[in-house]
Amino acid sequence: MVELVVYGVVLGSVIALGAIGITLVYGIVRLANFAHGEFMTAGAYLALLVVTVVLPWLGVPDGTFGPLSFGVRMLVAFPLCMGVVAGMAVLIDRLLYRKLRLKNSGPVILAMASLGISFIIRMLILIIWGADYRFYRPGVLRPAMDLPLGIKIRPDQVFIIATVLVLVVLLHLFLQKTRMGKAMRATADNTELALISGIDTEAIVMWTWGIGGGLAAAAGILYGIDVQLHPGMGWNFLIPLFAAAILGGIGNMYGALVGGLVIGIAEQVSTAWLTPTYKLAVAFMIMILILFVRPQGIFGERSR
């Protein structure tokens, strides 16, 4: 049981990274981004491309770091792919969402456009990589370490939790200390007031997409390291991501972090009684429950 909770924290930290992006984009751009899962998939597959094709071609050697299942190549690919997906998210906004915003298309039209983007990205991945499951390093043994209380955990999973922690702290510092971060929080709280105060909302929108896209890519790669890659992986994360974002209160980054952990732990613990394929349904049920009891989320205050 304790072991399931620990695995839940691993899964939950991946969900949290994605959910933070969802909640920021929803809070600031006012868009329910149904393509967010595909940002994760795109990040994971781009990293596969860099690790297995680009870096070997450049002659970058690959070892493994101690007990971890990856080496230098992944360390290069990780930030690189975060940057690429961040750029991709900004580009999609410029080419599509911004046009729709300027035409005053309602929020639902934008959400529908994001649904279209999600299918477009997924189809591109299927065309390039095919529908099979992939691994960053096929055939590598990944032994587990023994912790007290009989918990078995793989070194990769410790790395995942640590990486998420670092990224969240960095984002926290960005939002609290920098001018842009403060402007972002102000816009999330009250867009009109932010506009009147002379905040450049278009710049904020771009930063939001960049951060959301980058974190999603990180989440996708970490999930790929922990489990495997599949073109449908991001789509399957969509419900847990929204569940986490709603649970924590839309627009609230810290809420999304807690929400992600709660959803992740609930999904893993449920496997004690349910088939693991039902994880997604568990996340969905929690979301419906929250919508019934407290639609503004645990930390949400804004009332509609």
Sites of contact with other proteins (CB under 8 A): 26, 32, 34, 96, 99-100, 103, 105, 107-109, 111-113, 115-117, 119-120, 123-124, 126-127, 235, 238-239, 242, 246, 275, 277-278, 280-281, 284, 287-288, 291-292, 295, 304
List of residues 6+ apart from 106 with CB closer than 8 A: none
**H or E element in which residue 83 lies:** helix 72-92
Instruction: Tell me if 24 sits within 8 A of 32, measured CB to CB.
Output: no
Question: Minimal distance in Å, beta carbon 94 to other proteins?
Answer: 13
- N-to-C CA span, the chain: 39
Nearer to other proteins, 64 or 271 (CB): 271
Q: How far is the CB of 123 from other proteins (least distance, A)?
A: 4
What are the tokens at 297? Answer: 């989320």
| CB 287 to other proteins: min, Å | 7
Distance of alpha carbon 262 from the chain centroid: 15
Residue 141, classified by CB atoms within 10 Å of its CB into exposed (0-12), middle (13-18) or buried (19+), is exposed
Choose between 160 and 245: whose C-beta lies nearer to other proteins. Answer: 245
Q: Return the CA Rg of the chain.
A: 19
- Bin 178: left if φ > 0, else alpha if -120 < ψ < 50, else beta: beta
Nearer to other proteins, 201 or 296 (CB): 296
Least Cβ distance, residue 24 to other proteins (angstroms)? 15
Instruction: Kindly state the tokens that stand for 78.
Output: 């990780």
Nearest distance in Å: CB 57, other proteins: 22
Residue 47: CA count within 13 A, CB half-sphere: 38
Question: Which of 177/304 has CB closer to other proteins?
Answer: 304
Give whichever of 181 and 231 is closer to other proteins, judged by the CB atom.
231
Nearer to other proteins, 54 or 285 (CB): 285
CB 36, min distance to other proteins, A? 12
